[in-house]
Structure 1
Amino acid sequence: MRAFVAVETGEDVRQKIAALEQGLPAGIRQVEAANLHMTLAFLGEIDETKAELVKDALEGISAVPFEVKCRGVGVFPSMSFVRVVWVGALSEGLRHLHAQIGSALEPLGFKKEEFSPHITIGIPKSRVDLHPFVRAHEDDDFGSFVVDRLILKKSTLTPAGPVYENVHVKRLG
């Protein structure tokens, strides 16, 4: 299965981002509101045995619930070559949780990755000038949500976009 570890946004944040997505320029595939999340570790293709080891590793993580503030819009990797349109996420708790996940998964053969906290809201289907959109929303406030669980998700790619399924939920606290 194609898998990743994520946290889900709260409903208020999801609604604000969904409203923002309505203004995305043509040529950008929007992430469905129900699919909005923040990836903390992309695992790629893993088998059931590895998935069980990942579940055990996640259960060993010790963290209390914390708040994440969502603010601003940007792109990766650059304005001249956009692959992802995102809403920013601010939280020291998020950085600590990401570090713990990296340490827990490293013994299973996963590399520790750099972390730029964000929620993907769109993927370009074609070359689009996003300067006006980003400038107009770079300081927007999308509210905050509480992270109280980690989720191991399975991703199935379809022509209509990815379909996500929760494989395991680890409650924080």
Structure 2
Amino acid sequence: MRLFLALECLGFDARPLERELGAQPAGSYHVTLAFLGERSDAAAVVKAAAPACTGRLPLALEYRGLDAFHSPRAARVAWVGVRGTGLAELARALRGATASQDRPFVGHVTLARFRPPRDLRELVQRHGDADCGSGSVTRVTLFRSTLRRGGA
């Protein structure tokens, strides 16, 4: 099963952006801290991750600004940025503890995926500083994802 460690997005509200983007269901919003890929050792992941969380929670998060991966001109993913003191350090600690993928951490909440890519330049320009709320998180959750044709 595909596993990842993430924070649930308490206080996140992107309803105006959701309508314009055709976003995913709100219940699935999260901030991925460490993507583990195909793993069958969920219990071992939880055991390894626990010490990395010690003293790093709770975290106050702020959700702000629409952007896109790979670029706003040819967006495959629309996302809202996530900021919080200690967020990057928590991600780094979890990635080190769980031998997860080694991509640079970009704090974000995925709103929508596009295949084929979509031009979001106008939306990103209009909502580049959109305030999507704030909240405090107290725990890291181990999620399982299922890969579908359009992405996870």
TM-score, shorter chain, exceeding 0.5: yes
CA RMSD of aligned residues (A): 1.9
Output the amino acid matched with 2:26. Answer: A
Cross-structure match for 1:39: 32
Cross-structure match for 1:171: none
Deviation (angstroms), 1:134 = 0.8
User: Following the alignment from structure 2 to structure 1, what is the Cα–Cα distance between the partners of residues 97 and 91?
Assistant: 10
Deviation (angstroms), 1:99 = 1.3
Stretches (4+) displaced over 4 A: 158-162
Are 1:117 and 2:104 matched, yes or no?
A: no
Q: Residue 103 of structure 1: SS of its match in structure 2?
A: helix
Which of the residues 40, 64, 80 maps onto 1:87?
80
Deviation (angstroms), 1:79 = 2.5
Cross-structure match for 1:72: 65
CA spacing shift, 1:127–1:102, aligned 2, 3 Å: closer
User: Following the alignment from structure 1 to structure 2, what is the Cα–Cα distance between the partners of residues 160 and 77?
Assistant: 16
Return 5+ residue gaps in structure 1 as ranges. 163-173
Bigger CA radius of gyration: 1
Are 1:101 and 2:94 matched, yes or no?
A: yes
Cross-structure match for 1:169: none
User: Following the alignment from structure 1 to structure 2, what is the Cα–Cα distance between the partners of residues 41 and 117?
Assistant: 11
Deviation (angstroms), 1:125 = 2.8
User: Following the alignment from structure 1 to structure 2, what is the Cα–Cα distance between the partners of residues 102 and 9?
Assistant: 20
State the identity as a percent: 35
Deviation (angstroms), 1:3 = 0.9
CA spacing shift, 1:161–1:114, aligned 2, 3 Å: closer
Contact 1:84 1:124 (C-alpha < 8 Å) held by counterparts = yes
Output the amino acid matched with 2:129. Answer: D
Q: How many equivalent residue pairs? A: 150
Deviations 1:16-71 (A, max 9, x none): 213321112xxxx5221000111111111111xx2221110112221220101111
Deviation (angstroms), 1:153 = 0.5
User: Following the alignment from structure 1 to structure 2, what is the Cα–Cα distance between the partners of residues 126 and 159?
Assistant: 12
Deviation (angstroms), 1:135 = 0.9
CA spacing shift, 1:77–1:160, aligned 2, 3 Å: closer
Between structures 1 and 2, the one with greater strand share: 1
